[in-house]
Structure 1
Amino acid sequence: MSDTRQVVEEGKIWREKGNKQVSVKEYDSALESYTQAIRLNPSDYAALTNRSWVYFLQSKWQSSLVDAQASININQSWVKGYYRKAIALKQLKRYRDAIDTLDYAIKSPVLKGTIHLTDTKLFINEIDTITKSIIDYMTLQQDEKTTTKQHQQVDKVDIKMIGGDLGKGVFTQTGIQANTAVTVEYPLVSHISCKYLGQYLDQGTNNNNNNNKSSTWYQTCSHCMENRIRDPTILSKLLGDQPYREIYSSLYPNSKEYIVCGHCKVEYYCSESCQQLAWSQYHQIQCPHMSIIKQQLYPHCIENEQTNPLIISRMFAMVLQSIIYQQKEFTESIIPFTFFISNGQWQSKGDEKVLSILKSIFKNESQLDQVLTIERYRQFNSIIQCNASKINPLSRIHMLIEKNTIESPALQDYIQLVEDGPKVPFGEPLLNLLESLSDCCVHGSGLYVYANSCNHSCSPNAAITNESTNFSATIRSITDIPNGNQIEISYIEEDQPSQTRQSELIDKYKFKCHCQKCTNRIIK
Structure 2
Amino acid sequence: MESEEHQKGKEKFKEGKYEEAIELFKKCHKKEQRAPFYSNISACYMKLKDIPKAIKYARKSIEETPEFEKGYYRLINAGENTREYNSSVMIAEIKLGRERKEEKYWKEYYSGNEEVEVKRINLEYGKGVFSKKRYQKEEIIMKEIPIIQISKIEDYYNCCGFCLKTLCSKEPKNKYNQIFKEINKEEIIKCKCGMKYCNFKCQQLDYTHSLLCNKLKGLINYCNINHISHPLCIAKIFATILISQNIEKSLFPFVVFHSSPLIPFNSEIVPFFLNIFGSLLLKFNIYGGWTFIYQILYSVLKYNSSSILPLNPIQSLLLNNNSLLIDNTLLSSSLINHPDITAFTIEAEGLFKYLNTLNHSCSPNCFLANTDDSFALSLIASCPISHGDELTISYIDNTLPYSQRQSLLYDSYHFYCHCPKCNLMI
Same fold (TM over 0.5): yes
* Residue identity in the other structure for 1:286: L
Residues 190 and 516 from structure 1, CA distance in 2 versus in 1: closer, same or farther, beyond 3 angstroms?
same
- By how many angstroms is 1:54 displaced? 6.1
Contact 2:318-2:333 within 8 A present in 1 as well? no
Contact 1:505-1:511 within 8 A present in 2 as well? yes
- Structure whose residues are more often helix by fraction: 1
Describe the superposition over 1:372-426 as per-residue Cα deviations: whole angstroms up to 9, x where unpaired: 6332222211100000001101101012222224xxxxxxxxx444699647495
Match status 1:293 vs 2:225: no
Residues 520 and 359 from structure 1, CA distance in 2 versus in 1: closer, same or farther, beyond 3 angstroms?
same
Q: Once superposed, what is the RMSD of the aligned Cα atoms? A: 4.0
Structure 1 counterpart SS, 2:248: helix
Residue 312 of structure 2: aligned partner: 395
Residue 29 of structure 2: aligned partner: none
Matches within 5 A, 1:121-136: 127-135=102-110
Match status 1:339 vs 2:256: yes
Residue 260 of structure 1: aligned partner: 190
Give the % identical residues.
Answer: 25
Runs of 4 or more, structure 1, over 6 Å off, are 30-33, 48-51, 63-66, 81-84, 98-101, 233-236
Contact 1:285-1:320 within 8 A present in 2 as well? no
Matches within 5 A, 1:148-187: 154-187=113-146
Match status 1:305 vs 2:227: yes
Q: C-alpha distance in 2, partners of 1:95/1:168?
A: 20
Residue 228 of structure 1: aligned partner: 167
Residues 455 and 100 from structure 1, CA distance in 2 versus in 1: closer, same or farther, beyond 3 angstroms?
farther
Structure 1 counterpart SS, 2:343: helix
* Residue identity in the other structure for 1:489: I
Q: C-alpha distance in 1, partners of 2:75/2:293?
A: 26
Residue 148 of structure 2: aligned partner: 189
* Residue identity in the other structure for 2:205: L
> Number of matched residues?
375
Instruction: Select 1:237's aligned residue among 175, 191, 194.
Output: 175
Residue 85 of structure 2: aligned partner: 92
Instruction: Select 1:496's aligned residue among 389, 400, 411.
Output: 400
* Residue identity in the other structure for 2:107: K
Contact 1:160-1:168 within 8 A present in 2 as well? yes
- Structure with the bigger RCO (C-alpha within 8 Å, sep 6+) is 2
Structure 2 counterpart SS, 1:55: coil
Residues 377 and 274 from structure 1, CA distance in 2 versus in 1: closer, same or farther, beyond 3 angstroms?
same
Residues 83 and 445 from structure 1, CA distance in 2 versus in 1: closer, same or farther, beyond 3 angstroms?
closer
Contact 1:225-1:393 within 8 A present in 2 as well? yes
Structure 2 counterpart SS, 1:134: coil
* Residue identity in the other structure for 1:170: V
Match status 1:278 vs 2:206: yes
- By how many angstroms is 1:85 displaced? 5.8
Residue 239 of structure 2: aligned partner: 317
Residue 149 of structure 1: aligned partner: none
Residues 467 and 480 from structure 1, CA distance in 2 versus in 1: closer, same or farther, beyond 3 angstroms?
same
Normalising to structure 1: TM-score of the pair? 0.62
- By how many angstroms is 1:92 displaced? 1.8
Residue 388 of structure 2: aligned partner: 484
Normalising to structure 2: TM-score of the pair? 0.75
Residues 51 and 268 from structure 1, CA distance in 2 versus in 1: closer, same or farther, beyond 3 angstroms?
closer
